[in-house]
Structure 1
Amino acid sequence: MKRNNSNSTKNIKRARITILVIAVALLVIIGSIVAAQKFSAGSKTVQAASSTGESSNDDKENSDSVNKESNGSVEDVAYLEKYIEQQEKNQKPDGADGKKVAYLTFDDGPSTTVTPQILDILKSEDVHATFFLIGKYVDKDDASKNLVKREVAEGNAIGIHSYSHDYGYLFPKGKINLENCMSDFDKTDKALKNVLGEDFSTRSIRFPGGQETWSKKDPQGAEKVDKALHEKDWHQIDWNALSGDAEGTHKKNADELIQEAIKSIGNREKALILMHDTYGKEETAKALPRIIEYLKQQGYEFKIIE
C-alpha cells in the first residue's frame, strides 16, 4: 500500500514538472512572437518616417524651385534706378544684355473704378505690374484697402508715390521740401503696413513728377532727397516710356494711348512704361490689352520691380 502511494506521488511530481516545462516553453514562444511583431512594426515605422522625410525634402525642393521661378520675374529696383539714370545721361546702362523686358507701372491708385479693371486684364493676360500708390487713396475706405491686398495676392508689386500727392506741400515755391517729402513717404509706408501687415516692405519710390524733372528744377534738393531715400534703402524709379494718359489738356482715347505707348517704347531694351489707374482713367484700361499684346508680339518679357 505504501509503495503504491509512493508511485502516485512521483507521478504527480512528474506531471507538475511536465506542465511547468510546457508553460515555460509556451511563454518563450509567445515572447518571441511578440518581439518579432514589435521589430517588424518598428521597421515599418522607420521606413515610413524615412519616406516622409524624403517627401518633405522633395516638397521643400519643389517649393524652392517655385520661389526661384517667381523671383525670375522680379527686377531689382536699385539696378533699374541706375539703369534709368545712365540712360537719361545718354550713357550705355550697366547690365544691358540685349534681353527685352517690359515693366508695366501704374501711378496714383488705387481707385475703385479703374484698378479692378486693370487687375482683371493683368490676370487674364498672365502678366504682372508694379503699382505706385498714393497713401490717402489706400486709406480711403475698405474697398481701396482690399484692392491693395488683391494687387499683392495676384503677384504684383507695390511702390510708394507719396501720401498726399500735393505739389504745394511737397514742392513749395517749386523747391523740394525734404522733410515734407520724407514724411509723406513714411506715412504711405505706414498705411501699407496697416493693410498688408508689419512684415510688408517696399524699396520702390516714384517721385511725384519724376526724379529727372526735379533733378533739373531743383538739383540740390533732388540730391538731398536721393541721399535720404538711399539711407532707408529706398530707390527712385522713373520711366522711359508712357501711354500719355496724363499728358496735356486733351484726354486721349484708347487708340491714341496705344499709339503713344508704341511710339515711346520704340526699340528699347528695357521699357519702363508709365500709366495711371486713378479715377477717370478708364481709357487706360481699354488700351491695356492691346499694349500688352503689342509687347508680347515684340518679344518682351514682363517683370515687376522690387
Structure 2
Amino acid sequence: MKNKKGKVHNYNMNVRRNFERQQRGRRKKVVALVGLVIVLIIGGFGIYSAVSSNGENKEATASQSSSSQKPGQAENNNNSVNTEASKLDNSGYIPLKDDKNADDAKVVAERTSGLLKGKLHYPVRDDGKKVVYLTFDDGPSTTNTPEVLDILKKYDVKATFFVMGKSLADHPGAKELLKREASEGHAIANHSYSHNYQHLYPNRVININNFMEEYNKTNALMKEILGKDFSTRTVRFPGGYWSWNGRENARPVLDKNGIEIVDWDALNGDAEGSGKSTPEQLVAKTKKTVEALGPNADSVVFLMHDTYGKENTVKALPEIIEYFKSKGFEFRTMK
C-alpha cells in the first residue's frame, strides 16, 4: 500500500515539474517575442526620426539659404537684365512721329534735290510756311558745340546735327554733348565716321562699300550712346552727295537701306577758303546765299559747322537766327 502511494506521489511530482518547465518555456517565448516587438518599435521610431530630422534639416538649410539673401537681392537678380536694358534707353531722343518740330527727312531730301537739279521751283511747301533747317556738320566738338547749344536754347530754336563718328570717339566729353543734343530736342543725323575723302571717294568716285561701313559704324556708336531705340536714316555725304562721281552705283544701295541724303541750298561759308571768315563775313554770306534763292524760297537747308576752329560760327549764329526770323522763317528739324 505504501509503495502504491509512493508511486502516485512521484508521478504527480513529475507532472508538476513538466508543467512548470512548459510554463517557463512559454514565458521565455513571450518575453522574447515582447522584446522583439519592442526592438522593432524602437527601430522603426528611430528610422522615422532620422528621416524626419533629415527632411527638417533640408528645409532648414533651404530656409536659411533663402533668408541669408540681403533684402531685395532676389528682386535685383531678376531685374538685372531689365536694369541693364533700361540704361540703353535714357537719351530722350524723340522719334519723328512724336516730334512736333521735325519734318520727314525723305520729303526734305526730295525737295532739296529737286531744287538743286532744277526739277522743282519755289515755293515747294503746300502749307504756306517758310521754313529753314539749320544744320551743323562735323561735330560734336567740346569747344564750340556747347555754345551753339546754349544759343539755340536761348532762341528756342531746334537744329539738325550731322555727327561725325570720329568726333565722338576721339574727344572726351563729346558723348555727353550728343546726349545733350538729343535731350534738348534737336535732330541727329549721320555724317560718316572719318570724313576721309580718299577712303570714301577714291579717284573722286563713291566707294559705296566704304561709305556704308562708315555709316553703320557711326550709327552703331550713336546707338551705344543714346540707346538701342535710337535710329537715324538721315545722312549727309562729306563734301556733298552731288560733288562725287559713281552716284548711279551708290544710289540703289542707299535706297535699299532706306537712307535719305540731304545736302544744302544755302550756307554761311564757314568751310570755304581758309575757313577763317569773320563773323561779319559769315552773316553777309548767309544773306547772299539765301537771297539768291529768290523771294519765294520757302524751304531752306542751311549749312554750318560746329567742329573745332569754328568759333566765328558761334559768334555769328545769333545774328543769323535773327536774320531768318526777320524774313518770316520758322525753324524746324528733319528726321
- Smaller-chain TM-score bracket: 0.7 to 0.9
SS at match of 2:193: coil
SS at match of 1:139: helix
1:290 is matched with which residue: 319, 323, 332? 319
Q: Give the C-alpha shift of residue 92 in structure 1.
A: 2.5
Q: Give the C-alpha shift of residue 227 in structure 1.
A: 1.8
| Separation in structure 2 between the aligned mates of residue 288 and residue 70 of structure 1, nearest angstrom | 28
SS at match of 1:122: helix
SS at match of 2:147: helix
- Match for residue 211 of structure 1? 241
Q: Relative to 1, partners in 2 of residues 1:224 and 1:203: Cα closer, same or farther, differing over 3 Å?
A: same
1:82 is matched with which residue: 99, 106, 110? 110
- Match for residue 257 of structure 1? 282
SS at match of 1:131: strand
- Match for residue 245 of structure 1? 270
| Separation in structure 1 between the aligned mates of residue 96 and residue 282 of structure 2, nearest angstrom | 35
Q: Give the C-alpha shift of residue 263 in structure 1.
A: 1.1
Please list every run of at least 4 consecutive aligned residues from structure 1 whose deviation after the TM superposition is greater than 4 angstroms.
66-70
- Residues 88-167 of structure 1 correspond to what in structure 2 (within 5 A)? 88-92=116-120, 95-97=124-126, 98-167=128-197
| Separation in structure 2 between the aligned mates of residue 106 and residue 87 of structure 1, nearest angstrom | 21
SS at match of 2:152: helix
| Separation in structure 2 between the aligned mates of residue 101 and residue 70 of structure 1, nearest angstrom | 19
- Residues 180-195 of structure 1 correspond to what in structure 2 (within 5 A)? 180-195=210-225
| Separation in structure 1 between the aligned mates of residue 247 and residue 163 of structure 2, nearest angstrom | 21
SS at match of 1:162: coil
Report the structure number with the largest CA radius of gyration: 2
SS at match of 1:149: helix
**Contact 2:96/2:103 (CA < 8 Å) preserved in 1?**
no
Q: Relative to 1, partners in 2 of residues 1:69 and 1:226: Cα closer, same or farther, differing over 3 Å?
A: closer
Q: Relative to 1, partners in 2 of residues 1:119 and 1:174: Cα closer, same or farther, differing over 3 Å?
A: same
| Separation in structure 2 between the aligned mates of residue 258 and residue 168 of structure 1, nearest angstrom | 32
| Separation in structure 1 between the aligned mates of residue 202 and residue 96 of structure 2, nearest angstrom | 45
Q: Give the C-alpha shift of residue 250 in structure 1.
A: 5.7
| Separation in structure 2 between the aligned mates of residue 69 and residue 101 of structure 1, nearest angstrom | 19
- Match for residue 200 of structure 1? 230
| Separation in structure 2 between the aligned mates of residue 195 and residue 69 of structure 1, nearest angstrom | 22
Amino acid at match of 1:71: D
**Residue deviations 1:149-201, cap 9 Å, x none?**
00000000000000011111111122111110110100000110110011100
Number of corresponding residues: 236
SS at match of 2:158: coil
Q: Give the C-alpha shift of residue 205 in structure 1.
A: 0.3
| Separation in structure 2 between the aligned mates of residue 116 and residue 272 of structure 1, nearest angstrom | 22
| Separation in structure 1 between the aligned mates of residue 307 and residue 204 of structure 2, nearest angstrom | 24
Which TM-score applies when normalising by structure 1?
0.74
Q: Give the C-alpha shift of residue 69 in structure 1.
A: 11
Identity of aligned residues (%): 45
The Cα RMSD (Å) is 1.9
**Residue deviations 1:10-29, cap 9 Å, x none?**
xxxxxxxxxxxxxxxxxxxx
**Residue deviations 1:247-267, cap 9 Å, x none?**
113620100000101111113
SS at match of 2:132: strand
**Contact 2:124/2:299 (CA < 8 Å) preserved in 1?**
no
Amino acid at match of 1:89: K
| Separation in structure 2 between the aligned mates of residue 140 and residue 178 of structure 1, nearest angstrom | 24
Q: Give the C-alpha shift of residue 275 in structure 1.
A: 0.1
Which TM-score applies when normalising by structure 2?
0.67
Where structure 1 has 5 or more consecutive residues not aligned to the other structure, the ranges are 1-65
Amino acid at match of 2:160: T
- Residues 3-82 of structure 1 correspond to what in structure 2 (within 5 A)? 71-82=99-110
Amino acid at match of 2:232: T
Amino acid at match of 2:125: A
